[in-house]
Each structure stands twice: as C-alpha cells, then as structure tokens.
Amino acid sequence: MIDHEPLTDLTLHYPALDLFLYDLLDGLGESAATVDQRRQQIWQSILNGQLTETALEATLTEIKEREKKISRYIELLPEKRLRFTSPYDGYYYPVKLDDTLSVMVHCSGKPQDDTLPALSFAEQLQQMKAGVLDHARSIPRQIGQSWLIWGQLPNSSQSTEATAHFLYDNLALFSSPNWDQDFRGQGHYQEATLFEFQRPDSTPDNQNQHHYALICLFPACLSKGDLQDIMSQFYCELMRLFHYRNKVLWVYKQSIQLKTTLKAATSTMQRLTDALPMVITQPKVDLDQLQRNLAIALQLSQAYETNLGYFREQESTIEVNIQNYGRRLQVIEKQDSDCDLAFLWQFEELAKEKYLAQLQTDEKILTAGFKPLENYTKTVAGIIDIEHSKNERKLNLTIASASAGLGAASLMAATFNDQAKQLVAVWMPPPQGQTQPPVASYLASTVLAFGVSASMGVLFAWLTYRLLRRRG
C-alpha cells in the first residue's frame, strides 16, 4: 500500500485535463449528403453558437476543403485551436485522422478570482472536469474516447504515486473509482511518470464505451517552456495512438454484433437443410414449396455473404490499426531513448492475442458455416431443374404423341370415308325404288369413319408414346 500524503499538501503546477473524442466522419459507401449532414451536426456542437449562420456556413466550407488534403493528420481550423468562451480556460483542437474526426477538449479550469477565497486542489480538479464535460457534452464519440490528466509536481518531496491516487480518486472519471480494479500499468516518458487506467465496455450497443485514462506527472525540475515543448509534441502522438486503440476496440465490438447476426442466420440455414430430405423423398415432389425454399435460401445467402464480407473487412481493419498502434509507439519511443512504455505495448499484445486472433478464428468458422447453405442452394436448384425437365419432357412427349395420333386420324378419315359409305351401302342397302340412301345410312357411314379414324389415331399416338419413351 502507498502511504498517502496529507491531502491538503498535494497540488500540481499547470494542471490540465484533456478528453480525446473520436467519431466516424465518412463511412464506407455513405452519400455526400449524409457526410455533410454529420459534419454540420458535429461542428455546430463544437462551435456552440459562437458563429452566425453565415459565418458557420463559410467555416464549414473551409473545413470541407481542408479535409480534402492528402494527409493522415489534418488540422481542421485555420488557427488550429478554438478557445472556450468565458469563464473556462480551455480550447478545442479538431483533427481529421483518416476517416475519423478527432477532437481534443482541453481545460485547465477557470482563472483565479482574487476577490474570492482560493480553491483547494480538489475543487480545481472538479472545475476542470466540469469545463471539459460542458464543452464535450454534445460532441459525438461513437468510435470512443480517452482521458489525459497531466501537470507538474511542485517539488521533489511530493509523492508521485500519492498524487496519481489523489487525481484518480477526486476526478472520478470512471464511475465508482477503484484503483486496484482499473490500474493497468506504469512507465516513464520525457522524465514524466505515466499511470494507465482502463475499464472494459459492458454495454451492448454500437459504440465503444471502454473507459481509459492516462495520468502524466512531470518532475519539478523542468521549466514551463520544457513542459510546453514536450506536451505540444506529446498531444499529437497521443491523439493518433488513442485513435488506433479506440478503433480496434470499436471495430471489435461491432464484429461481436455482426457475429451474432451471422450465427442467427446459420440457425435458419440449419432448419432448411434439415428439412430437405423429407421434402425430396415424398412420392410427389412439391415443386412450389421447393421454389419458395430456394427463394428464402437465396435471400439468406446474399445477406450472409454481405455480412461475412463486412466481417472480413473488420478483421483487416483491426489488423491495420494494431500495426499502426505499434508503429506510433515506436515513434514515441524514439523521441526519448530512456523512456519505459512497456505498459502501452501490452495493448498491442492483447489486441493480437485476443481481438485479432478471435476474429480470425470466427472468420474461418463462419465461412465454413456458409458451405451448407451453398450446397443446399445448389441441390434445390438442381432438383427444381430436374423436375422442370421431367415436366417439359412429359409435355413434349404428349405433344408428339398427340400430333402423330391426329395425323394418323386425319389421314384415315380422308382415305376411309368413301369406303365407309360403300360398306354401309352393303350392310344397309336403300329400299327398292329409292335412289338416295336414307339418313340412317349417312349417319352410320359418318360414325364408322370417325370411329375407325379415332381408333387409328389413338393407336398411332400410343405407339409413338411407347417408342419415344424407349428412346428417352
């Protein structure tokens, strides 16, 4: 346990609180109108009524032009920073990082009013926290956020660890602060001592709500100019480092939801594939039902392939951002050969071993899970084709047989008509003295001709059907 110094003795020179916010600016496949609308909402939140409507439109046009620069780090404001209005001492620092808008909200509290009693250090901390939260309240942060608390120890006798405990407890950036639960590691950079804190996200939504904070305490021996030089560079590095970290966590969280959707689809697939043997073993295949099942399978297949493609993109995105995180850490380490940032490297190891490895395993399982649906679709489509071919063959056989029968019947009717009349005349001779045969003779000859022609047609149709069946 750390022996805490009396709380009244703890203080910091140049204390500051920073919140780094990250939101997707232009997602893949989004229309220009959607991106413009999001841009306007974000900047209205940042500018917070500081500009007239005309000035806002002009500023948005200029920002849009700045975003077109070919760079992975684009400062979006002409003056780089937008200072808060009274009474807080702070500013916004917005930057575009690839497809992400990053906004750093910085606050060092309020200027001291000499007419009022001096604030305690704990009260100054609460003032800084209120200033940051007030100005960051309406800025979107879907990808995530990260806190930075920093300052300079007033003398060499003040305990760095006790000061870090005091900052952590009094700022309460995590609900129900618990040092033992949230503390992740400690290191050194540019003579400052760094303390890292994290609390995992447990909310089932589409936002990264991991809680993360870094405390940076400089020794008393550094001058104010040295601090400014170090922090101006450190801010830029941390903005990118936190971006990669939050992007990994955000994408991984999205992959969990996408995995749930894909697994639900595999349940529907299983029901279809399990029912197939029963459908095709019926004495008579229900072609209409098979076609309905095929339509369901094709819709399911399209949605599954699309989501599986998104899942693979997320795997690639996580892999790229892990690599970028490591490269950025290497850049930071080169700025101070004596630094100790092993605690920050732990995230890269965790991301590789847990997040990336999990996605790679899931991708193989989900890809294999799609195979039964592919086989089902091919099988059902094949059965339907066979049934259609059978029906078409039966129809063609019927048409050919009927045509042969009709041809034979027509030919017989044309050749047998006179013979039928002669036969009837023999069987039913007309009465003596009557030159014309009676009506009964006409009817009998007609019936005889029709019967013989029809019989011949049926016989030829049957013979044709049998012959074609054997050839088939």
Query: Tens digit of pLDDT for each residue in 277-329?
Result: 776 666 666 677 677 777 777 778 888 888 999 999 999 999 999 999 999 99
Q: Distance of alpha carbon 407 from its chain centroid, rounded?
A: 67
Name the pLDDT band for 198 (thresholds 50, 70, 90).
very high
What pLDDT digit, counting tens, does each position of 27-48 carry?
666 677 777 777 777 777 777 6
Mean pLDDT of the chain: 81
* Pair of tokens at residue 188: 């050194």
Of 357, 384, 411, the last residue of a domain is 384
Res 207: pLDDT = 76
Q: Does residue 318 lie within any of the structural domains? A: yes
pLDDT at 350 over 50: yes
Whether residue 405 is found in the same domain as residue 298: no
Q: Does residue 435 lie within any of the structural domains? A: yes
Res 201: pLDDT = 83
Whether residue 347 is found in the same domain as residue 451: no
Q: Does residue 465 lie within any of the structural domains? A: yes
52 Cβ neighbours under 8 A, 6+ residues apart: none
Which span out of 61-70, 81-90, 272-281 was modeled with the highest average pLDDT? 81-90
Q: How many CA atoms lie within 13 A of 217 on its CB side?
A: 24
Q: Distance of alpha carbon 360 from its chain centroid, rounded?
A: 16
Q: Does residue 3 lie within any of the structural domains? A: no
Q: Does residue 445 lie within any of the structural domains? A: yes
Q: Does residue 244 lie within any of the structural domains? A: no
DSSP string, 403-424: HHHHHHHHHHHHHHHHHHHHHH
450-459 per-residue burial string, b: 16 or more CB within 10 A, e: under 16: bebbeebbee
Lowest mean pLDDT among 138-142, 167-171, 214-218: 138-142
Whether residue 157 is found in the same domain as residue 290: no
Main-chain phi, psi angles of 185, to 5 degrees: 175, 175
Report which of 155, 156, 179, 176 is spatially closest to residue 167, judged by C-alpha positions: 179
Which span out of 117-121, 315-319, 376-380 was modeled with the highest average pLDDT? 315-319
Whether residue 148 is found in the same domain as residue 165: yes
Whether residue 423 is found in the same domain as residue 366: no
pLDDT at 193 over 70: yes
Of 336, 360, 384, the last residue of a domain is 384
Q: Distance of alpha carbon 82 from its chain centroid, rounded?
A: 34
Q: How many domains does the chain have?
A: 3
Name the pLDDT band for 94 (thresholds 50, 70, 90).
very high
Whether residue 122 is found in the same domain as residue 88: yes
pTM greater than the 0.75 cutoff: yes
Whether residue 75 is found in the same domain as residue 152: yes
Res 70: pLDDT = 77
Lowest mean pLDDT among 59-63, 377-381, 420-424: 420-424
Of 339, 357, 384, the last residue of a domain is 384
Lowest mean pLDDT among 99-103, 110-114, 178-182: 110-114
Domain that holds residue 104: 9-222
Write the Ramachandran bin of 140: left for phi over 0, alpha for psi from -120 to 50, otherwise beta.
beta
What pLDDT digit, counting tens, does each position of 200-249 carry?
887 777 778 899 999 999 999 999 999 999 999 999 999 999 999 999 99
Lowest mean pLDDT among 203-217, 255-269, 274-288, 413-427: 413-427
Res 397: pLDDT = 55
Q: Does residue 42 lie within any of the structural domains? A: yes
Whether residue 57 is found in the same domain as residue 169: yes
Res 371: pLDDT = 75
Main-chain phi, psi angles of 5, to 5 degrees: -75, 160
Q: Is there a contact between 141 and 19 (Cβ–Cβ < 8 Å)? A: no
Res 449: pLDDT = 53
Res 1: pLDDT = 38
Whether residue 189 is found in the same domain as residue 274: no
Q: Does residue 228 lie within any of the structural domains? A: no
Name the pLDDT band for 434 (thresholds 50, 70, 90).
low
Whether residue 334 is found in the same domain as residue 211: no
Res 317: pLDDT = 94
pLDDT at 57 over 80: no
Name the pLDDT band for 406 (thresholds 50, 70, 90).
low
Res 16: pLDDT = 96
Q: Is there a contact between 195 and 186 (Cβ–Cβ < 8 Å)? A: yes
Whether residue 136 is found in the same domain as residue 272: no
Whether residue 261 is found in the same domain as residue 365: yes
Mean pLDDT of all residues in 61-83: 84
Name the pLDDT band for 67 (thresholds 50, 70, 90).
confident
pLDDT at 4 over 50: no
Lowest mean pLDDT among 8-17, 69-78, 96-105, 283-292: 283-292
Neighbours of 80 (CB within 10 A): 12
Identity of the residue numbered 33: A
Res 377: pLDDT = 73
Mean pLDDT of all residues in 273-279: 71
pLDDT at 387 over 70: no
The percent of residues in the chain predicted with pLDDT above 70, rounded, is 72
Q: Tell me how far CA of residue 116 lies from CA of 18, 20, 112, 119, in angstroms.
A: 26, 32, 8, 9
